[in-house]
A and B are shown apart, each in its own frame.
Chain A
Amino acid sequence: MPYPTAPADVFGLWVAWLLMLMIYSYPLYKENPVFRFAEHTYIGVMLAIMLVRTSITTTINMVAPPLMKGRLDYIIPIVLGFMMYFLLSARYRWISRYPIAVLVGAGFGLGMRGVLIPNILNQVISTITPPATGAGAVDWWNYIYIAIGTICAVMYFVLTWEHRGAMGYATRLGRWIIMIGLGAYFGNTVLFRMAMLSGRAQFFLQVLKIAPM
């Protein structure tokens, strides 16, 4: 974004800058009234924006066109949606379970059917797919490492058998493999977080016109 010139935008830029410092007063100092102000501002603004965007705009956009075409079945989800509000009534609270049943069913149905191929079958297939022809010793070592590592790590999650004997060794190896995975993952995330924070450090300088916008 270029450095704004309109007064409202310049004002906005400084508000944004101040709000950032108010929030960072929490990690850099401690919880204080300035942070609390920013916190409550954020909660209020976000709630309003989400209501306008999700509950009102998106819902109307999704419901109005089919209703106009005479698809009266679209009244059902609206009714179901408002049934959720029976939670506020002590007597008819249980009615709010019906819309939830639809959500839970959709969640489980899509979830269970969705994990079969990418989470289970594809993982097995890629574990047992050997390196392409002409692969060197390193590729074969990686093939062996990933296969044995995956098998041992899965074994670590066996919950209803005691980890004794050969299985004990396998699960200990599995645990180490898991630790390597978590460590590498953690390390990789540092990149993302620091990129984000550097964005804020950059913004701090940009508003002061020390760095170009």
Chain B
Amino acid sequence: MAEVLRREVVYLITAIVTVIMFIEFFFVGTWNVAEELRTWATIIANISLGLGAVRLLSEHAKNIQKRRAGVWPFSIWLWIIFLITILSGLAGYVTTHDAMKNPLYNWLFRWPYTSLGQTLYAITGFYIFSAAYRAFRARNIDAALLLIAGCFVILTNAPIGGVIWGGIPVIGRWFLDYGQAPAMRCFLIVAAFGMLAYGFRALLGRERGFYGEVAGE
């Protein structure tokens, strides 16, 4: 019985929810239950973040406890800044129903948080540079095509490309508007089938890899 509860019932719930989503999509009628299930899913996902928080904080607590070399002082700092941020945010929320109204939380959000976000988001600029440097080498026909398409598009996006040679934006635009279309279309199509098949197996309860059961066993 316990086994059934642990496995079959779980697969059954997955399948039922999937089918409800299908029915709502294809068939005429009002399917409030589908909408409600989606809201539930959102709520569940939101609540589950706390689980991650427990994990993350306990990992750093262990770092401190074991005095892990090179890391533990930073783990202490992580705890401190976490507590400051969450307490100020909660204080704001409890008193005014808006965490942002707490000046400390607002400051943390406005300066360290957004700056770090922009910084990390922009760090890709460096890495895409060196990735191009390493990957765009004409080792064979495949790589040469990658290189040619990439360079024309790069020079097209920068206005200076058209100044260097008038043909660059023409060719580059062709790559952007048409040249890449078949590949993108193909990825969309085959990824869709991949998902349909994967989802189908999950629907039948035959794809259990992600439920911790090793495939093919």
A: which residues have CB within 8 A of B?
Answer: 8-9, 12-13, 15-17, 19-20, 23-24, 26-27, 36-59, 62-63, 73-74, 76-78, 80-82, 84-85, 87-88, 94, 97-113, 115-116, 118-120, 123-124, 126-127, 142, 145-146, 148-150, 152-154, 156-157, 174-191, 193-194, 196-200, 203
Contact = CB atoms under 8 A, between A and B. Distances in A.
Given A102-B41, A184-B180, A196 B124 contact: yes
Contacts of B16: 105
A58 B56 CA distance: 21
B53 to A, nearest CB: 6
B146 A104 contact: no
B175 A123 contact: no
Interface string B118-138: 111111111110001001000
Contacts, number: 375
Given A48-B86, A181-B179, A184-B149, A193 B124 contact: yes
A99 B126 contact: no
Given A43-B56, A187-B150, A56 B157 contact: no
A17 B116 CA distance: 9
Given A38-B116, A109-B19, A187-B150, A176 B141 contact: yes
Contacts of B93: 52, 56-57
Given A23-B123, A48-B85, A98 B10 contact: yes
A82 B39 contact: no
